[in-house]
Structure 1
Amino acid sequence: MSVMDVAVLPWRDTKRPLWPLALVVPALPFAALLLAAATRSPWAWWLTPVVILGVIPLIDVLVGDDHTNPPEAAVPALQASPYYRWITYLFLPAQFAALVMACATWTRGPGAAGAVGLVLTIGLVNGIAINTAHELGHKRENVERWLSKIALAPTGYGHFFVEHNRGHHVRVATPEDPASSRLGESYYRFWPRTVLGSLSSAWRLETSRHRLRGRSPWTVRNEILHAWAMTLALFTGLTITFGPRVLPFLLLQAIVGFSVLEAVNYLEHYGLLRQRNAAGRYEKVDPRHSWNSDRLTTNVFLFQLQRHSDHHANPLRRYQVLRSFDVSPQLPAGYATMLLLALIPPLWRRVMDHRVLAHYGGDASLANTTRGYRRR
């Protein structure tokens, strides 16, 4: 075959058969159910946390990175392909089926160890489902935007639909953004700031949108109220079906779920800061303002969320065509591993703080820092 023949061969997505592996996450609770039935052990309900937080990080290390980007000539066809969309659509029925199954299991009494494992299991599934909601919520098609709100319902985090698109993407990597963590700030200090700040920001944004149109925010057209109504309807239906005993489970798994999201937010922009230009405005978002990871395994499971710089530069770009940039700061591991590090502040700072400073040539004044960090 000549060089010319090679040049005209169509580009193929080598990860195409791997993308359905993202559906393993909502399938894991059913594997745990089978394991619990076979062993009659409450520890079977820890299968999902062990796989997501233990096995996947290990596979990440063994498989390594994938730096390949699709050529721009192939992007229109990849974007238009329904194959990639249906994988995100199928996540939702599996997510809700797992939630219903877990509610039934909870009411039967899985024991103390089983109860904790069950909360972590469904919390992790619904927390990762927020990433699916994130992928869908950035698209212009109405069906995908509604599916995004539905995927957010189990965690009660419907306001994320508004705040992420119209708040975070505008203020990312600035001190004004509640979802951008600061150098020297622990996850435990970041959590209340981002949870409360994002909720407050979302309501202000949606209230302003309606008042600019001369109407009250208390309307059926309020996107936050849409999403919260879905959560209320879901929790009410599950409570009627399984009894009030299921309410503590629903609340606990929701807290775990949105805490997983906020842990991901914590590591995505840690310490990164957009500088102000001569006019006093923040510079345009570019690949330097997000932490990235090209670990293949977690990128497949998370719809390439780890190629976060391209996502912020091109929010409408679908997951299958997101690119890796050499100028983006790189995490030393995939998100699953970094999430665990974030839960141990001394270890997190040992791994990450010097990387932030290196990104800014040792000048902490160029980073987004927490109060008192520069003095230290």
Structure 2
Amino acid sequence: MRLSMSSRQLAAAATDRPRWRDRKRYLWLLGTVVPLFLFAGWGLVELTGLGLFWWIGPMVVHALIPLLDVVIGDDRNNAPEEALAWLEQDRYYRWVTYLFLPCQFVAFFTGFWLMTRGDGMTVIDRLGVMTTLGLLNGIAINTAHELGHKKEHLERWFARIALAPSGYGHFFIEHNRGHHVRVATADDPASSRLGESFWRFWPRTVRGSVVNGWRLERTRLRRLDTGVWTLRNDVLNAWAMTLVLWAVTIALFGVGVLPYLLGQAVLAFSLLEAVNYLEHYGLLRETTERGRPERVTPRHSWNSNHLTTNLFLYHLQRHSDHHANPTRRYQSLRHFDESPQLPAGYAAMILLAYVPPLWRRVMDPRVLAHYDGDVTRANIDPARREVVLARYGRPGTRTSAAA
């Protein structure tokens, strides 16, 4: 999974522009378009008089993008190895992600202004704006994910800022120092298990994210001989950003926006957790002779090369390479043939996850096939282990998934 070039060769290669050209270079700006969904909906409402367009967020995310995934199809192309160092150093790609943040906050404040401007907006209309903002800030968590893995101090602070509207600042800690260590194991709250529905996974992962984020930060501060009740606590300072942002929002638009603030936050982090549910469903790292999980490989993440969703999510669907190389920037992430593939992009698979019988019908056979029919090699939900074994059989007894 590592580049074969030495650090000195990488530094030299980064200064030489390769002949290869990134055909998606300017298409990555589509990620910045996400906050503009709200303004497009506002324009359509003004043009047509139909409040339906306040719900433009779910229309685009769960209808238009999956349709474009089907129409445009996959992109399995990887940048050549000799271009990777140059790609990593090209600051244009960083500015693409930085640009997301001002757009995010302009949309955030505009949304609450629209809710309270007193022009007869109905409760249903406000719920539409809230839902659109929730999806926007959920996708912003992915921008925070991209920035938070980087070594530069500024980018890591930008990650906390992007997380502030959703109140999910602890994700920055738990994901980087927790999930990436325990991924595809029974101990990871962000790795979903075979037989576990999204609705059972949601409370487990939300609680686990908070608990583990706090525990990891407490351990770090103890090593520094510092108590937890300090702004040096990265969980606390991330939550403090949220409190300040929400207090400013309430001061500007009134306490009546509080339910919508909370609602958009829940929708935002629920979108993140729906993505977590997709990424490692049923996948399990084997235990070595030393009793530790094996090294993470491309076989431990579900991937998708559907181009449209990847452009909007900064290549998040190339998840295997991300786990192998967490600091690698999105434009350099690669496809691996050995990675298990989702049948559709994340935008469509999230909808499937919301309907457990359909999810099991589509995904359980894929998990079973991934382990050559041996369901006991999968990461099985302990509460449903006997049900899963009865449905799919033990080794040598049954290899086909039941409907």
Cα distance in 2 for residues equivalent to 1:54 and 1:65: 18
Contact 2:18-2:82 at 8 Å conserved across structures = no
Pair 1:103-2:118 in alignment: no
Pair 1:374-2:383 in alignment: no
Cα distance in 2 for residues equivalent to 1:141 and 1:353: 40
Alignment correspondent of 1:5: none
Alignment correspondent of 2:61: 52
- Superposition pairs of residues 296-315 of structure 1, within 5 angstroms: 296-315=307-326
Match 2:102 to one of 69, 87, 93: 93
- Superposition pairs of residues 348-367 of structure 1, within 5 angstroms: 348-367=359-378
Cα distance in 1 for residues equivalent to 2:153 and 2:333: 22
Cα distance in 2 for residues equivalent to 1:308 and 1:279: 27
Cα distance in 2 for residues equivalent to 1:72 and 1:226: 39
Pair 1:34-2:49 in alignment: no
Cα distance in 1 for residues equivalent to 2:261 and 2:316: 26
Cα distance in 2 for residues equivalent to 1:91 and 1:110: 28
Contact 2:190-2:205 at 8 Å conserved across structures = yes
Contact 1:268-1:291 at 8 Å conserved across structures = yes
Cα distance in 1 for residues equivalent to 2:257 and 2:128: 15
Alignment correspondent of 1:201: 212
Pair 1:331-2:331 in alignment: no
Alignment correspondent of 1:134: 145
Cα distance in 2 for residues equivalent to 1:253 and 1:48: 12
- Deviating beyond 6 angstroms after TM superposition, the runs of 4 or more aligned structure 1 residues are none
Match 2:299 to one of 288, 305, 310: 288
Report the residue type matching 1:58 in the other structure.
L
Give 1:110 deviation, angstroms.
Answer: 2.2
Report the residue type matching 1:150 in the other structure.
I
Alignment correspondent of 2:184: 173
Report the residue type matching 2:316 in the other structure.
L
- Superposition pairs of residues 144-183 of structure 1, within 5 angstroms: 144-183=155-194
Alignment correspondent of 2:10: none
Give 1:328 deviation, angstroms.
Answer: 0.4
Pair 1:245-2:256 in alignment: yes
Cα distance in 2 for residues equivalent to 1:181 and 1:110: 39
Cα distance in 2 for residues equivalent to 1:95 and 1:117: 17
Give 1:35 deviation, angstroms.
Answer: 1.4
Report the residue type matching 1:184 in the other structure.
G
Give 1:316 deviation, angstroms.
Answer: 0.6
Give 1:42 deviation, angstroms.
Answer: 1.6
Cα distance in 1 for residues equivalent to 2:121 and 2:136: 19
Which segments of 5 or more consecutive residues in structure 2 lack a partner in the other structure? 1-16, 392-403
Cα distance in 2 for residues equivalent to 1:345 and 1:106: 34
Cα distance in 2 for residues equivalent to 1:274 and 1:14: 35
Cα distance in 2 for residues equivalent to 1:122 and 1:110: 16
Match 2:26 to one of 6, 10, 17: 17
Pair 1:117-2:151 in alignment: no
RMSD: 1.1
Report the residue type matching 2:58 in the other structure.
P
Alignment correspondent of 1:4: none
Pair 1:61-2:70 in alignment: yes
Cα distance in 2 for residues equivalent to 1:39 and 1:248: 28
Pair 1:71-2:80 in alignment: yes
Report the residue type matching 1:44 in the other structure.
F
TM-superposition CA deviations, 1:311-349 (whole Å, max 9, x none): 000001000000000000000000000001000100000
Which segments of 5 or more consecutive residues in structure 1 lack a partner in the other structure? 1-7
SS of the counterpart of 1:374? helix
Cα distance in 1 for residues equivalent to 2:311 and 2:345: 11
Alignment correspondent of 1:213: 224
Give 1:39 deviation, angstroms.
Answer: 2.5
Cα distance in 2 for residues equivalent to 1:46 and 1:120: 7
Alignment correspondent of 2:6: none
Pair 1:258-2:284 in alignment: no
Match 1:43 to one of 36, 46, 52: 52
Contact 1:106-1:249 at 8 Å conserved across structures = no
Contact 1:129-1:152 at 8 Å conserved across structures = yes
Give 1:9 deviation, angstroms.
Answer: 7.4
TM-superposition CA deviations, 1:78-111 (whole Å, max 9, x none): 1111111111001011111111011011123521
Alignment correspondent of 1:3: none
Report the residue type matching 1:74 in the other structure.
A
Give 1:218 deviation, angstroms.
Answer: 1.0
Contact 2:18-2:86 at 8 Å conserved across structures = no
